[in-house]
Structure 1
Amino acid sequence: MKPFRFATTATTGLVSLSQMQETARFAESVGFATLVFADHLDGQYAPIPLLTAAALATERIQVCSYVLNVDFRHPAVLAQELATLDRLSEGRLAIGLGAGWSRNEYLATGIPFEPVGARVSRVREAVAVLDGCFGDKPFTYAGKHYTITDYDGQPKPWRQRPPFLLGGGGRKMLGLAAQVADIIGLAPRVPPSRPGGVYFDPASITVAATAEKIDWIRAAAGERFDDIELSTYASATAGYGPPVIVTDAALATARTHVDDINARTGATLTVDDYLDSPHVWIGTIDQLAEKCRSLRERLGISHFMLSPPEVCAELVERLAGL
């Protein structure tokens, strides 16, 4: 089994530079492996400047976009920014890429929100372009979305290929991740209509649904499956408080959430299914530690993105690296 690794975010919203860097140093001190920053167009800073500022304020912790929307940037331009960041951090960059899911961001900016197959195809080509830019010689690439001609990307990263993190909740994106990613983030599916304002499909957050996603990954990855690090994140408490809720009243808290989710969506999620979900982190530190062990034993998941770091510090100090 792979050792436990934990990721967290050092900011939400528009916090000050000093506050963000202080949180980054705290996360490093308690044993978080990675700092992550999201990529959205509403109510937050741009991720690459944040990653740079966090890297320059720390010494060991990895920095990672979680995840860059490929539709927002040409990959050859992005390659220069990422390689610069990897060099400035002396090899501490992980590259998170995604196909985009927030339709409102596309509608507001006029960027076409194409069907998922087209968006996943663009991610596949973006990875190929990034790999070409990071290579040791000029390359040419002719795809449906990008055309590169005898281009030698500069600068080169600290390492030839920083680790890639890709993820999703659907078979197309997870199949691509299985072929090219080092870390795969397991996510809930996002329903197009968001019934009741709930952004995840309740049926997609269960252990059974997660096991099915891992089966898709295993089938697509073939022999490289054992080298892949499986990751999950606390996403299904959104709208009910912080991503991780440390409490002695897990059942009562979960029951309130489940009743609301079912009422809004018409789902039939049970409290047990909700508390067992790899995307729900509610309980005492002992209960959450046991959940980490269970998810690694049952599903092979060893990488967890949990926030806020102050709430999760005791859990991380207890398990990181084991």
Structure 2
Amino acid sequence: MNVAVIGSGTMGNGIAHVFAQHGFAVSLIDISQQALDKGLATIGKNLDRQVTKGSLSADDKAATLGRLTTYTSIAEGVRNAGLVVEAATENVELKLNIFRELDKHAPADAVLASNTSSISITKIAAVTQRPAQVIGMHFMNPVPVMKLVEIIRGYATSDEVTQRIMDLSRQLEKTPTEVNDYPGFVANRILMPMINEAIYSLYEGVAGVEEIDTVMKLGMAHPMGPLQLADFIGLDVCLAILRVLHDGFGNPKYAPCPLLVNMVTAGRLGVKSGEGFYSWGHGTKDLVVADRFKK
């Protein structure tokens, strides 16, 4: 089966990497060749890490890269796809427009999946003529490492399509977990309020960045603290998901912290911008609190 992946950013190149490594021909699609080249370079670096660790041979790396083809046109990239996985920015209108295009150009029997972390699969499916073949396939970051795939059934997603995607996820050596289509699904409905509460704790002066993260790492055995994790996810993504939760449930407990809103407005987005709660431009693996939050 041919697989098309829409978007060559952090999630898209990771998804393409995993499918190609497991023997699938992959069409990686983005709006510019520059973005695609950057995505391919990232895949190459991640494959090199696997070779260095001994989990992949040099021949397997070459074979994986050989299964990847890039396109700047959705129509060309999806024409032979049995599965399309959309991994574009977490923006409702953008995703709806992409699915309208996919519905026009992908084969009639193709399954259309979204890697959305919070947006309604039912809403996405409603702009297509094949709602039974639309499903959520929410991979975790970094995709080549993380085992979970959250499989989200839209209101009209068929049993047969759900089972196919569950089985396919297992072929990728992932653990698929089926959930229903409500705002934030399971992962982010639980995770984002925790991150938001950590930001509120900082905003209200309860504790500093390091102290909040240390409590959660050492007290709750989290591999990284919520503020570090927010930087890793992207503060803009965290804000977008919280707004989906707030709009979807109408519950004030999901209201984004004003500090988070201000940081995103100021372009302090975490790792991707070089600064969030921590500084990420110093070229080491050490955690350095951003100057604004130093005591």
TM over 0.5: no
Q: TM-score, normalised by structure 2?
A: 0.31
Specify which structure has the bigger relative contact order, considering alpha-carbon pairs within 8 angstroms and separated by 6 or more residues.
1
